[in-house]
Structure 1
Amino acid sequence: MNSQTIARIVPLHESDPRSRDPVLEELVDFVGYRPNALLTMARKHGVVPALLNLMGVTLRGDGLLAESLRFLIATEASRRARCCYTTTHLVHAAHHLGVSWDKLAALPSYQEDPRYTEQERKALAIATAGGSLPVRNPAQAMGQAKQFFSDEEIVEIVSCVAMVGWFNRWNGLMGSVLESVPSEAMVHVPWLCELEI
């Protein structure tokens, strides 16, 4: 893991009123901590509620796919982007939603690992294709996914991949410092330590 531990832009102090948006408070209740990345985003009025509302539509809450699968998809896309901060957050959230540490630790070998179903493999292949730029072999990943998913479900998969792209770029540029709560995932998921901040 990259040893950079100082944010390039200092997050707002949690007592700053700009860091107290109601949508952010709902996320804090879900994950159990106040993410530094969002405390930096809060410096630009409107970004946090807009982004968290989009996250609510793509990753969280009601959807055609299970919330845990949507977080696995986002985790794989972020892993492919090699963003440690974002990926660690997503691993922590996926575990919070019931995905075992063992299954998360096996994510880099999801294509062969028996802990992953064939349906999960096809969804994760879309995340692998779209997790880096340029996108790699999208036609193959999308074509194979159509064996298991409707067009609407594939749109939901792609929305998870696209959503996490914002966070990968934000955290890569800002050097967001990982908080202690999600960092516990690194003990259980060793490949996280190989990613960049």
Structure 2
Amino acid sequence: MARLDPLPKDAAPELADEFAFFERTLGFVPNSLLTMARRPALTRGLIALSKGVYDPSGEVDLGLKRLIGHVASMAAGCMYCRAHTATSAMRHGIEGDKLAAIHEYRTSPLFSEAERIALDFALAAASQPNDVTDAQMDHLRTHWSEGQIVEMLGVIGLFGFFNRWNDSLATALEAEPQETAEATLSATGWSVGKHGGGH
């Protein structure tokens, strides 16, 4: 059960444009943002960061960015964020079978070597304590430019916030991400857990 209830959308009229953006792109306003709406400046700042992280003019594929967020959320153990990144990944071209194999990305033929290296980076950077090494950075540079590495770390950093926010508050999961996660992530250890009852 959520530890803070999401506010109704109209409780923060100053965020109407931002919420309309999510309704257009996701089909709903995430409960994480509706909970955060108690502080509109914080909500706006996080949305601005999200738009920068997922800038369509970036060099890293938007679907892969969602997988990076997913693996970072696996490291953190946040089921809410795993469900959201699964839904977003599929909306950005990641096939269900690839998503279902995310827990075995190191060996699955569905992942390229460059993707494996990026996902290893996500896992190491999202671990506590941080597990990124100089050797890993050198390996990352064999497939990715410094600008691309910055984009990937932006995703990992964003989910550092989202994982802590949603896991601490047991944010209630919305219907679509829950359905996506149940359909694609059942073999990966995903369960709705404390995020149930949100729709």
TM-score, normalized by the shorter chain, greater than 0.5: yes
1:53-64 aligned within 5 A: 53-64=48-59
Alpha-carbon distance in 2 for matches of 1:27, 1:82: 24
1:1-197 aligned within 5 A: 6-18=1-13, 20-185=15-180, 186-190=182-186, 191=188, 192-193=190-191, 197=195
CA deviation profile, 1:6-63 (whole Å, cap 9, x unmatched): 2111110123234743123212211111211110000012111110110111134221
Residues 82, 195 of structure 1: 8 Å contact kept: no
Bigger shift: 74-83 or 187-196?
A: 187-196
Residues 78, 86 of structure 1: 8 Å contact kept: yes
TM-score between the two structures when normalised by the length of structure 1: 0.91
Bigger shift: 10-19 or 86-95?
A: 10-19
* Matching residue's letter, 1:176: T
Bigger shift: 185-194 or 128-137?
A: 185-194
Alpha-carbon distance in 1 for matches of 2:82, 2:57: 22
Q: Pairwise CA RMSD of aligned residues?
A: 1.7
**SS where residue 160 of structure 1 aligns?**
helix
| CA shift in 2, pair 1:73/1:196, >3 Å | farther
Percentage identity across paired residues of the two chains: 30
* Matching residue's letter, 1:146: R
In the TM superposition, what is the alpha-carbon distance from 1:196 to its structure 2 partner? 6.7
**SS where residue 150 of structure 2 aligns?**
helix
CA deviation profile, 1:69-95 (whole Å, cap 9, x unmatched): 111111111111110001110111101
How many residue pairs get aligned? The number is 192
Alpha-carbon distance in 2 for matches of 1:166, 1:86: 11
Residues 21, 49 of structure 1: 8 Å contact kept: no
| CA shift in 2, pair 1:58/1:51, >3 Å | same
Bigger shift: 155-164 or 21-30?
A: 21-30
* Matching residue's letter, 1:164: F
Alpha-carbon distance in 1 for matches of 2:14, 2:93: 29
* Matching residue's letter, 1:153: Q
* Matching residue's letter, 1:96: R
Bigger shift: 145-154 or 7-16?
A: 7-16
Unmatched segments (≥5 aa) in structure 2: none
Unmatched segments (≥5 aa) in structure 1: 1-5
Alpha-carbon distance in 2 for matches of 1:175, 1:60: 28
Alpha-carbon distance in 1 for matches of 2:92, 2:13: 29
| CA shift in 2, pair 1:9/1:99, >3 Å | same
